[in-house]
Homo-oligomer: A and B are copies of this chain.
Amino acid sequence: MIKQFINEAISLAQQSIDTEQGGPFGAVIVKDNKIIGRGYNQVVQYNDPTAHAEMEAIREACQTIENFSLKGCTLYASSEPCPMCLSAIYWARIDCVIYANTYEQAATIGFDDQFIYKELNQPHADKQISISQIKDKSILKRSLDVFKAWKNLPIRKRY
């Protein structure tokens, strides 16, 4: 079954090339030996920089089971997930990931996940983008009040 699922992910990567929708990446999500979500890179097609294969597969799988948690699911990816997709895998509570191509191989065709990994680990002041907290005290109080309001809700749907 594992071979079948990873082959399906690779076929989706090929589909992304054939239809010129984005980079050569595909993914499927499996629950109880059934594919519940499929995705391939559609960044170019959708004008959506978040439309990576794994993200699309996660979104479709969640729609299939009508739940924002994919606990008990396995994600098969044609390539090692980038930091965005890997973080999404954690948020989605996916248990297991199996991939084929590696980061290093993706870098050789121009997809440099390692740059993002490196940036994530830099202190904000050393990052290549400008990222900082606003200084205005009344705004900081207002934003913290929103957190407090959420914390004090009688019922919160946790995710």
Contacts and interface: CB of A to CB of B under 8 A. Distances in A.
Nearest to A98: B134
Interface string A55-80: 10011001100111110000000111
Q: Identify the interface centre among A50, A99, A116, A117: most chain B CB within 10 Å of its CB.
A: A50
Contacts of A116: 87, 90-91
A13 B146 contact: yes
A146 to B, nearest CB: 5
A144 B100 CA distance: 8
Interface residues of A, number: 84
Given A6-B134, A100-B134, A159 B50 contact: no
A115 B108 CA distance: 30
Interface of A: 2-3, 6-7, 10, 13-14, 17, 20, 22-24, 43-44, 46-50, 55, 58-59, 62-63, 66-70, 78-80, 82-84, 86-102, 105-106, 108-110, 115-117, 119-121, 129-134, 136, 139-140, 142-144, 146-147, 149-151, 153, 157-159
B50 A55 contact: yes
Contacts of A67: 47
